[in-house]
Amino acid sequence: MQALVTALPRSFRTWFSRTLRRAGYQLINLQKFHAFDGLHTVHAPRFKEDPRFRAAYDRAMQATHGVDQRTEWRVHIGLWAASVAARAAGDFVECGVNSGVLSTAILSYLDWPRLEKTFYLVDTFGGPDLSQLSEAEIASGHAIILQDAIERGAYVTDLERVRGNYAEWPRIEIVQGRVPEILPAVGTQSVAFLHLDMNCAYPEAAALRHFWPSISPGGVVLCDDYSYSGFEAQGRAIDEVVAEVGARIVTLPTGQGMIVK
């Protein structure tokens, strides 16, 4: 269909495109169509041309043992956020690590030894605690999805594998436990970068409340599933905390939400 349309006169193509738009449709050049995890766009992912990004993403795929869920655009956002946060005072914290896709990419992308920051990696390393799910999350079927993911082995439980993945970088602190109970064990006084990816509303909201006073001016909070389809309860929980602390969050088409303090 696309080849047929492009072969027609320009005036006809213009009329045809306008007619489709009035009817609620749009003509798309499939050769320029890009699909990521839930994000479909005709806009160019220019970041993929950057060798530095490519190297960081490839290193992240080593952490997953080659399992690629096409999260390039989300990782790109995370790398930008981490680069901005690197200028702020304080450490990096990730709540919800799993195999370590984003944190591994960040460590590879930044000149981590020079930054003299500590990266705290907080996780149960046993998958989400389903007892923390709200009634709304259970009613939506979110519990079934998470239970299936746990049973399929989608969550990394081998701590030696996790430690081995981060062994090449200094100042990595792996903190195993359930949020929010484990958060006092995160020994930092100031936070430059906070990444929340626990697939559950309650611990994410609790982590944001806990760390917000410690986040430095210019620090960045990145919520992985803030507007991701099927994770609406997490978005509502984060909105409540954002309103409490008087912050502003930007909704991204990747499903993420971001705050710059």
Tell me the per-residue pLDDT of 16-48, one tens digit each, with 9 for 90 and over.
566 656 766 665 555 566 787 788 888 888 999
The predicted structure's pLDDT at residue 44: 87
Name the average pLDDT for the chain: 91
The predicted structure's pLDDT at residue 65: 94
The predicted structure's pLDDT at residue 1: 44
Distance between CA atoms of 260 and 219, rounded to whole angstroms? Answer: 6
User: For the chain, what percent of residues have pLDDT higher than 90?
Assistant: 81
Here the tokens at position 56 are: 């960081």
Provide the 10 A C-beta neighbour count for residue 261.
18
| 50 φ, ψ (degrees, to nearest 5) | -85, 115
User: How would residue 133 be classed by pLDDT, with cut points 50, 70 and 90?
Assistant: very high
